[in-house]
Amino acid sequence: MSAVSLISLVDDDQSVRESLPILLKQFGHPTRTFAAAEDFLTSDAVAQTRCLILDVALPGMSGPELQRALELKGHRIPVIFITAQTDEALPARLLAQGAVDVLVKPFSDTALLQALDKALRAS
């Protein structure tokens, strides 16, 4: 676990993009935010990101689609999915597809911290 681990956040909700980086900074991690999957995929953040916090439902390319696209390109970035959907079968499906954790909104700061620890250990 390196001292400075860049975390990237992809969520189309602006309030999430504003609030989570402040909390992550309290945990000691710098964060870059993206409103769309495509924006992240084409940015230079891909190579530096140690953990990707990824919203499931995104306009255009969805969260799981981004995850597959990254794998295809050979980027093995640990993914924590976050979702506001109440579909009970969704977390198990995402975990089966290789997600480190699935956090259902609204989640607590400790749940996020635990997931982060898991992700950063994995990377």
Partner 1 sequence: MNANLNIKVSPPACSACGIAYIGAMIGGLIQQGRPLPIVLGALCRLFDAAAEGYASSVLLFDRSRTQIRHAIGPGLPAAYTRLLEGLPVTSDDRACDGTQHEKPESIIAQLMADILREDNGRALARTYGFKSCWWWPILSLTGVPLGVLAIYQREAGGYAPFPPALVQQLTDIASLAIERTRSDENVRRSEMLLAKAQRLSSTGSFSWCIATDELTWSDELYRIFEFDPDDSVSLEHVIARIHPEDLPSFHALVERARCGGGDLDCEHRLLMPEGTVKYLHLVADGTRDQDGQLEYIGAIQDITERRQSEQVLDKLRTELAHVARVTSLGALTASIAHEVNQPLLGVITNASSCLRILAADPPDLELARETARLAIRDGQRASDVITRLRSLFSKRGATSELVDLNEAIREVLALLFGELQRSSAVVRVELCEGLPPVIGDRVQLQQVILNLVMNAAEAMSGVNDRARRLTIRTRLHKGHCVRLSVQDAGVGITHQDAPRLFDAFYTTKSGGMGIGLSVSRSIVENHRGRLWAEANAGHGATFSFAIPRADEDVPAPRAAQSTRPSTRAVRGAGTSA
| Shorter beta-carbon distance to partner 1: residue 59 or 76 | 59
Tell me which DSSP letter residue 10 carries: E
10 — phi, psi (to 5°)? Answer: -115, 115
CA distance 121 to 90: 24
> Smallest distance, Å, CB 48 to partner 1?
23
Question: What separation in angstroms does the CA of 22 have from each of 19, 26, 73?
Answer: 6, 6, 30
DSSP result, 75-121? ----EEEEE----TTHHHHHHHTT-SEEEESS--HHHHHHHHHHHHH
- Give the nearest distance from C-beta 55 to partner 1 in angstroms: 10
- As measured in angstroms, the least distance from the Cβ of 64 to partner 1 is 13
Report the interface residues with partner 1, using CB under 8 A. 13, 15-16, 18-20, 22-23, 26, 57, 59, 82, 84-87, 104-109
Residues in the chain: 123
Least separation in angstroms between residue 40's CB and partner 1 is 19
- With respect to partner 1, which residue has the nearer C-beta, 20 or 119? 20
